[in-house]
Chain A
Amino acid sequence: MKDLVTSKSFKKLICLVGVMVLLLLIGAVTENNILSSIVNGITLPMSEVSAAAAKEAAKPNYDELEDENKELKEELAELRTQLADYYNVKQENERLWRYYDLKAENPQYDILPATVVRRDPNDDFYSFTLDKGKNSDVAVGDPVVTENGIIGWVYEVDAYTAKVKTILSPDAKVGVIDTVTRDSGVVSGNVLYADKNLTTMTRISALNNLKEGDIVTTTGISGIYPAGLIVGEVKEIAFDQYDTSMYAVISPFEDIRTVIDVVVITSFEGQGEISQSGIEDITLPTEATTAPETEVVTEINEEGVW
């Protein structure tokens, strides 16, 4: 032990420890670490070379890239499908939110959101085809509405689609009532007004109090349309040029000519129950209900008045 302590190498160790202590002190006092800078300066080029080599070695080969490319393409296709689904779901969500109020206010309605998939180019009254049919419980006669009011009814239905006639059509006969004056009448389309998105309210009393701006709603008496559905507002009161009877021009709140998203009311309270009170709704798209319409026409032809 004595030999060790007195040896040259031990003295060198003591010197080195002294150097280390000095370096530690310098490192503690100064921000710049000279030793680290020197070491890193010497080894940096080698580190760069080795890092570049390691990076190059880590690069995938052609087969791996091909596999990765294939996987990414599959993933991209899947994501595209998901994106399309996302947009569909988003649109459906927006559509459902629009009809949420309708359902909330009328919990007895069974409503079915639907989309216009086709418009009949030969029809001047803007009838259209919906993407829902019998498989979705749509039936002939079901009212078709938007959040802005009634726009028509289903007149033909198959398994997957339903055809709708609008209230711009002369075939429409919807019993309505003025919400302000309580004057009643029948809304029916007119060839003079249909292309302007207007319809008419006929069979109004000569002593009516209708005025522009009044809102008319369905009476619901026939059991075909629910009561209280908005039809539109009175735009003007006019006289028929042939028989001088009065009628009101009604402007629906929805542009029926361009509507895309609608709701079919597949069931509601009082559906199919004809009220015993005086006013009748006379629409009737079905075969069973076309007869009264013919009768009315006959009546007009024969007597010249309603």
Chain B
Amino acid sequence: MEKRRSFLRYFAYSLEIIILYVIVGTPGFLPEIFGSKPCILLPVALTIAVFESETVAMSFGFVCGVLTDIGFSGKIGFYTVILTLLCFAIGYCARNFFVTNLLNASIIGIGSIALLILIHFWLYVTLADVPEAGTYFVRHYISRILYTGAFFVPLYFLGKLLCTALKNE
């Protein structure tokens, strides 16, 4: 029974990830804000991480990272590595160091999203010496952080719903 519930939960997470991956790539489905689209799989991985153990968090972080990288460049790279590590860390901390509630999860989740996107900017724009990097940051990256962060709260509640409904007794 426990295994079945776990399987259903993981299946539900997988379905959530796949559906959101498809939605985020569907042309015209999500409007662009200041030329940027949200990286929805980042909050998905982070919300799973706050409710699950570090191993499960790490696995779904890996999957979300792979899908995000494939969506960006077609090859795994930055998001796969960093999301796997980050989800592991968040899963571990959530289980050992803080109580999982909306406030804590939002601080950690939205902070992590901002951190991930800023590191991405640093690696792919600043270090790559892209001209007009400041303008690029203001016009695209700030809106991407805010747009992606806005998805964290609804996805937190979705994750909580799945977790409470299908969590082992």
Report yes or no: B84 in contact with A54, Cβ–Cβ below 8 A: no
| Nearest chain B CB to A60 CB, angstrom units | 13
| Nearest chain A CB to B30 CB, angstrom units | 10
Q: Digit string of B71-83 for contact with A (CB within 8 Å is 1, else 0)?
A: 0001111001100
Interface centre among B62, B75, B85 (most CB of A within 10 A): B75
Q: Does A9 contact B (CB under 8 A)?
A: yes
Q: From the candidates B55, B66, B80, B92, name the one contacting A4 in the complex (CB within 8 A).
A: B92
Report yes or no: B75 in contact with A36, Cβ–Cβ below 8 A: yes
Q: Does A58 contact B (CB under 8 A)?
A: yes
Q: Does A12 contact B (CB under 8 A)?
A: yes
Interface size class of B (residues with CB under 8 A): 20 to 34
| Nearest chain B CB to A56 CB, angstrom units | 11
Q: Does B53 contact A (CB under 8 A)?
A: yes
Known: A9-B55, A20-B80. A54 touches B27 (CB 8 A): yes
Report yes or no: A47 in contact with B26, Cβ–Cβ below 8 A: yes
Known: A13-B58, A20-B62, A27-B75. A51 touches B88 (CB 8 A): no
Residues of chain A within 8 A of B21, CB atoms compared: 43
Interchain CA distance A37-B80 in the complex, whole Å: 16
| Nearest chain A CB to B33 CB, angstrom units | 18
Report yes or no: A13 in contact with B88, Cβ–Cβ below 8 A: yes
Report yes or no: A24 in contact with B22, Cβ–Cβ below 8 A: no
| Nearest chain B CB to A231 CB, angstrom units | 72
Residues of chain B within 8 A of A9, CB atoms compared: 53-55, 58, 88, 92
Report yes or no: B58 in contact with A35, Cβ–Cβ below 8 A: no
What residues of chain A have their CB less than 8 Å away from a CB belonging to chain B? 4, 8-9, 12-13, 16-17, 20, 23-24, 27, 33, 35-36, 39-40, 42-43, 46-47, 50-51, 53-55, 58
3 tightest A-B contacts by CB?
A: A50-B26, A9-B55, A27-B75
